[in-house]
Chains A and B, each alone.
Chain A
Amino acid sequence: MTEFLRLDLPALLAAILAGGTCGLLGSFLVLRRESLLGDALSHAVLPGIVVGFALTGLRSAGPMLLGALAAALLATFAIGWVKRVARLETGAATGLVFTGFFASGLVLLEVTGARGADLDVDCVLFGQLETLVWLEAQGWASLLDPAALASLPRQLGLLASVALVAGLVVALCWRPLQLVAFDPAFAASLGMRVGRWELALNLLIAAAAVAAFESVGSILVVAMLVCPAVALRLMTDRYRVQVLGGAALGAGLGAAGVLLAGPIPAALGLTASLNAAGLIGTLAGFVVAGCLIARQRPAVGDARS
């Protein structure tokens, strides 16, 4: 059992927190018809993370998060600017900006030597769930031992904080978020500052992308943001089910990916252990495909929420 606590529990918790937070916030991206921003923000935060890392050394979530949020903010404005000066549609402008940010992030990674620290290209591309371990765990009692808990991987602290903030924001702003997503013009006529709401939501999503980034990498964050929300879009007409279901599905996919990464290849007679982050994204794809097939049957029932 100690083995489970030391080697599996940290990755499991990280995947559940990352999947749950991204699944929760992803619904708002999809409902606002801004799914592309998930892709953009998760790539655009890279230079911010690298600079935050390089300026302050290592091992601290604060500067990384600040750098990433600054990069996300910059990217959001850059998209608007490119749309204006180059008269491009949103999709193309977004593609232009986020690839530029991501490319500069990759170059910065090499130039600043952040590579030497925890942060390397492999983490960006494949995540590093497997490297999250809790060696101080001596048994279940360690879960109550502050000294042992303090040695949990620091990624978990950031993930848990962002999950808490995201959960609180969504719970406390439950109806304004629905209105801003559904009918921003009407929301504005009620006196809501729609632009600020959207910016705040985007920054929250960027924070979730950064927190999840360290566990699952830049690209698989996109799977966590978009896939659960899309699966629920195919299955429900209720706001409550869409948002809470997205969070639950994301968390469940996270858990399933970590728990199955060992047993699946073993059952196939392979010696390898699968990339857990990749498995999460793969399972998410299968779930969306399943929902798509299930939807082909005529839908029944009315909306209520």
Chain B
Amino acid sequence: MIGHNTLVVLLGCAALGAASGVVGAFALLRGRALLADAIGHAALPGVVGASLIMAGFGGPARSLGPLLLGAALSAWLGLLALRALTASGRIRPDAAIGVVLSAFYALGTVGLSIAQAMPDAAQAGLSHFILGQAATLNESDAMLAGGLALACIGVVAALFQPLRALCFDEAFARSRGLPVRALDLGLLALLLAVCVAGLPAVGLLLVVALLIVPAAGARLVTRGLPAMVVVAGVLGAAAGASGALISTRFENIPTGAAVVLAGLLGFGATVIFSRR
């Protein structure tokens, strides 16, 4: 039996997976998928900071909206740091990602050790943001995350043609007068939104997998971008929902891990299918 709350959580995770697949498809083609790793880790100090601030004002320490806002802010700072490092001309993007994700994550763990010492246990549940725990989501949390994910899909649908031009032929996009910089920024914002929406369910450590795995699988079995995006969305939704289902059944298994393994199963299937 699946209760009402569980059903809402499953639907939320499916929406999340679909959005990750859809946005991940573009990010993968544009060579930006790994940024999700930096974004996810860089969100931690924001989550902890927002929680500490709310506790300081005597508010509810674990209201999802403000936590996600904090996450988005610090992830954005992380991306700015990333750009500053690569702009030096000395540090390659992969090294810069390593610095940003580890240093921001470290700052977050320091914040967590402060939160742990707070009398009213402000940290309760914060560590779920690291590995993800869909089972602890309540209905409104799931609807917030799912709604954010659906909004991302909507934005992608509206910007489909310009994004496609950006990913396949930047020079062509420029020659057509498309604002390449703004589009890149938009793609980055989508990536950030999907990662942040995914934090409570999938967790910051593994959210990157949800952006890479479905898109990589979809590319193997499709020709043409529209099909790839749709298949990536379906694979992502399946991974999200089945991962959440597994982790609600076996409470010790973090949702993030279950989602990744479910996604990889789907990826394996596409590999086999593509070799036929």
Give me the interface of A with B, judged by CB distance under 8 Å: 30, 33-36, 38-39, 85-89, 91-92, 94-96, 99-100, 102-104, 106-107, 110, 121, 125-126, 219-220, 222-223, 225-227, 229-230, 233-234, 265, 270-275, 277-282, 284-286, 288-289, 292, 295
Chain B, range 227-276, C-beta contacts under 8 Å to A: 250, 252-254, 256-258, 260-261, 264, 267, 271, 275
The reply to whether the CB of B108 lies closer than 8 angstroms to some CB of chain A is yes
Contact of A223 among B102, B114, B250, B264 (CB under 8 A): B102
Knowing A104-B261, A125-B109, the reply to whether A88 touches B95 (Cβ < 8 A) is: no
Per DSSP, are chain A's interface residues mostly helix, strand or loop, or mixed? helix
Knowing A95-B33, A265-B114, A281-B105, the reply to whether A295 touches B90 (Cβ < 8 A) is: yes
Select from chain B the residue with minimum beta-carbon distance to A219: B105
Minimum CB–CB distance from A75 to chain B (whole Å) comes to 13
Minimum CB–CB distance from A244 to chain B (whole Å) comes to 19
Q: Are A222 and B117 in contact (CB under 8 A)?
A: no
**Which residues of chain B are near A280, meaning CB under 8 Å?**
106
Q: Tell me, in angstroms, the Cα distance from A86 to B13 when the chains sit together.
A: 26
Q: Are B31 and A89 in contact (CB under 8 A)?
A: yes
Minimum CB–CB distance from B37 to chain A (whole Å) comes to 6
Knowing A125-B130, A275-B109, the reply to whether A39 touches B37 (Cβ < 8 A) is: yes
Knowing A92-B212, A95-B208, the reply to whether A223 touches B103 (Cβ < 8 A) is: yes
Not counting A39-B98, A95-B33, A99-B206, a sample of 8 additional A-B residue pairs whose C-beta atoms are within 8 angstroms of each other reads: A95-B37, A103-B264, A110-B252, A126-B109, A220-B102, A272-B117, A279-B106, A282-B103
Give me the interface of B with A, judged by CB distance under 8 Å: 28, 31, 33-34, 37, 41, 81, 84-85, 88, 90-92, 94-99, 101-110, 112-114, 116-117, 127, 130-131, 205-206, 208-209, 212-213, 216-217, 219-220, 250, 252-254, 256-258, 260-261, 264, 267, 271, 275
Contact of A99 among B94, B219, B260 (CB under 8 A): B260
Knowing A103-B256, A222-B102, the reply to whether A36 touches B206 (Cβ < 8 A) is: no
Give the 10 A-B residue pairs with the shortest CB-CB distance, closest first.
Answer: A281-B106, A285-B103, A272-B117, A278-B109, A223-B102, A226-B98, A99-B209, A35-B95, A103-B260, A275-B113
Minimum CB–CB distance from A53 to chain B (whole Å) comes to 17
Contact of A95 among B34, B104, B252 (CB under 8 A): B34
Q: Are A285 and B99 in contact (CB under 8 A)?
A: yes
Q: Tell me, in angstroms, the Cα distance from A209 to B252 when the chains sit together.
A: 26
**Which residues of chain A are near B113, meaning CB under 8 Å?**
126, 272-275, 278
Select from chain A the residue with minimum beta-carbon distance to B98: A226
Knowing A103-B206, A106-B131, A275-B110, the reply to whether A281 touches B103 (Cβ < 8 A) is: yes
Contact of B209 among A86, A100, A273 (CB under 8 A): A100
**Which residues of chain A are near B261, meaning CB under 8 Å?**
100, 103-104, 107
